[in-house]
Chain A
């Protein structure tokens, strides 16, 4: 069974700094998707970034980028020039291609300090 581990329950950084959130996963599959979701205090779940395992190039979305290390089964999220609005819970998630289950980590609560 696939598992997703986020080893940092909570983090705080100053506004404008860069922060990296860690995620590791365990799978024997070769084809899968990885996601980072953001959950602000509003409780809404928002997709931040997606990575297909067959792509070697790391995904980027504006200030958000990932470091995808397939061999190490690592999928970290880097937030550059952090903003107060980035304060949220961040979840790493895994979906095997062709499967229907999406497995989430326990989340990292990120505080951006003014």
Chain B
């Protein structure tokens, strides 16, 4: 089946540092989504990407859809304590496919 390899698994950073995480796959995808999940809450959609090469920002967050359509990265600039949580990439191969494939998540800890 399709798999997304998300890395790193976890990150411990100081407040103010920049963060980068990525997802790769051997399969081609039509959509890349990045979600953040706080403990005990549902995932919240941060950024959606639909075109190869697309670069999209949402405040301090920037994400890109890789040219090969097999990867994506998410950058967070000037991290703050509330950035703590688990970040998931997710992707959809398109067509009539309702299934999202999720990465295993990146656990981010920000030390004030």
A, B bound:
no
Interface, chain A (partner B; CB < 8 A) = none
Interface, chain B (partner A; CB < 8 A) = none
